[in-house]
Amino acid sequence: MPETFDTLTTRLAEIQDLRKTGAILFWDQQTKMPGAGAAGRAEQLATLHRMAHELFVSEETGRLLEGLRSYEDSLDPASDEASLIRVTRQDYEKAARVPAELESELTRAASHGVQDWVTARETSDFARFLPALERNVELKLRYVECFEPQGERYDVLLDDYERGMTAAEVRTIFDRLKEELVPLIAEIAERDDPSLEEVTRGTFPVERQRELCHDVIRRFGMRPDSWRLDPTEHPFASGAGVDDIRLTTHYHDDTLEALFATMHEYGHGLYEHGVDPALDRTPLGSGVSLGLHESQSRMWENLVGRSRPFWRYLYPTLRETFPEQLGSVELERFLRAINRVHPSLIRIHADEVTYNMHVILRFELEQEIVNGRVELKDLPAEWNRRMHEYLGIEVPDDAHGVLQDVHWAGGGIGYFPTYSLGNVISVQIWERVREDLPGLEEGFERGEFAPLREWLGEHLHRYGRKFSPKETIIKVAGGPIDPEPYLRYLRAKHGADGSL
């Protein structure tokens, strides 16, 4: 092994230390930090981000990578070493194209954008947010121009979250989803099942929810010496490495959403925890793309966490936990309630069917924005028009419409589609797991989650970022991304003759 390789891995390990430190600082900010610490924390995060970025894009990294070409050629491309050089080179070639000044303007605009968005959403005042959005979009277009034109502008942005995927590929998948889902949603809407809140009585005390959420992820296989679960405003999963996984959730005493959010974040956490420890402290040491990541969170939240076998197992415990609230609710009624499909205004509260329409709407608007086909001031009207067209509902104000998500405020254009790509991929993987493990769902009825966990570790998690997202999907799902299994699943579960 050439000395250059050691020098590179040492450098990358330090960069990774800075990035993981940033992750812990962000986690701390969202879960523990006293409020007045915000200004100082913003500076600390900016410094860590800038230092990691500067170290990574420095000419020294480029020289090291260049010096390793012949070593790389001598290796099995599937080896850790070849993958590290290959993926790092891809990362480097992207990052080095962005001038330092633009990089720091993007960071600053994102930070200001989030601040303005908070105020704008509180007062449902889109005009208050418009200048920050304009600035973010202007900078994102400058970012796009840093790259050789190859396909659509949007491809460059999408590539940051789902490397190698194009807007055209997403459109093909989403058009197919839309074609099936709009009529499916209309069909289900006529059933008008009651919601969980309508079938239960009283509130769900937060402390009991908290214990339940910890209990459920322990049953899933969470080891307390490597994981935490804490309350926060907007749930996320993060961590400092394979052995330090931080899940968060938000407890509302009028719903059980925290439990589903916890199972969702468990899926993210399990992916990070399952990466081969040999890849820790390298740029390969995390999930390969947001789409693949979301496939894991959606799997534990929906394919496990809203399934009949799982609730056959857990429902007695849930009823014991909340005897007043659920004592008179039979399992079947509970299952229907937690799987209710019902058009609604807010993406993060949406059910597993209509959720995709929220995403498709955003993906379509993002393309219009990036291609200059919509004036930003007209976004609220465009948003509301599509909400009516896709979900048949009226948006009462922008706080419940175009202002509901933080993503655009923070410069995250091209991020949304990965949510529905995750849904699609989750069922492709699920079909493979069920082929390999015929007794999988019967096992859930007995609380056996290790087979699923281990299958995912073996076929997906351990790879980290060694292979491209597309290669990884083929490895784990046996073929390229394909919406048909997901559509079959939704129809079979939620359609007219749906079995739940």
Of 97, 178, 210, 228, which one interacts with its own copies (CB under 8 A)?
228
Residue numbers 262-291 binding its own copies by CB under 8 A: 280-281
Q: How far is the CB of 15 from its own copies (least distance, A)?
A: 9
Q: Does 13 bind its own copies (CB under 8 A)?
A: yes
213 binds its own copies (CB under 8 A): no
Nearer to its own copies, 176 or 228 (CB): 228
Angle (nearest 5°) at CA 154 between 117 and 116 = 10
Instruction: Pick from 32, 191, 234, 388 the residue near its own copies by CB under 8 A.
Output: 32
Q: Which residues lie closer than 8 Å to 309 by C-beta, 6 or more apart?
A: 441, 442, 443, 444, 445
Q: Any residues with CB less than 8 A from the CB of 23 and at least 6 apart, and which?
A: 238, 239, 240
Phi, psi of 44 (to 5 degrees): -65, -45
Q: Tell me how far apart the alpha carbons of residues 104 and 88 are, in angstroms, rounded to a whole number.
A: 21
Among 63, 191, 201, 223, binds its own copies (CB under 8 A): 223
For 294, the token pair is 């979301």
State the catalytic residue, choosing from 169, 265, 272, 301: 265
Please list, residue by residue across 310-326, b when 16 or more beta carbons sit within 10 angstroms of its beta carbon and e when fewer do: bbbbbbeebbebbeebb
Q: Respond yes or no: is residue 265 known to be catalytic.
A: yes
Q: Token pair of 443, please? A: 């096992």
End-to-end CA distance of the chain: 55
With contact defined as beta carbons under 8 Å apart, do 465 and 286 qualify?
Answer: yes
Stretch that binds its own copies, among 17-25, 309-317, 383-391, 399-407 (CB under 8 A): 17-25
Q: How far apart are CA 20 and CA 24, in angstroms?
A: 6
Span of 33-41, 99-107, 185-193, 335-343 interacting with its own copies by CB under 8 A: 33-41
Using CA atoms, how far residue 164 sits from 112, 151, 158, 421, in Å, is: 30, 12, 8, 13
Q: Does 225 bind its own copies (CB under 8 A)?
A: yes
Closer by beta carbon to its own copies, 268 or else 340: 268
Taking the complex as a whole, the smallest distance from the CB of residue 49 to its own copies amounts, in Å, to 11
When asked if residue 111 is in the footprint of its own copies (CB under 8 A), the reply is no
Distance CA 463, CA 1 (A): 22
Least Å distance, CB 296 to its own copies, is 20
* Smallest separation, CB 223 to its own copies (Å): 8
Nearer to its own copies, 269 or 287 (CB): 269
Nearest residue (CB) to its own copies, 25 versus 75: 25
Catalytic residues: 265
Residues that bind its own copies (CB under 8 A): 13-14, 17-18, 20-21, 24-25, 28, 32-37, 39-41, 43-44, 47-48, 51, 223-228, 240-241, 243-245, 280-281
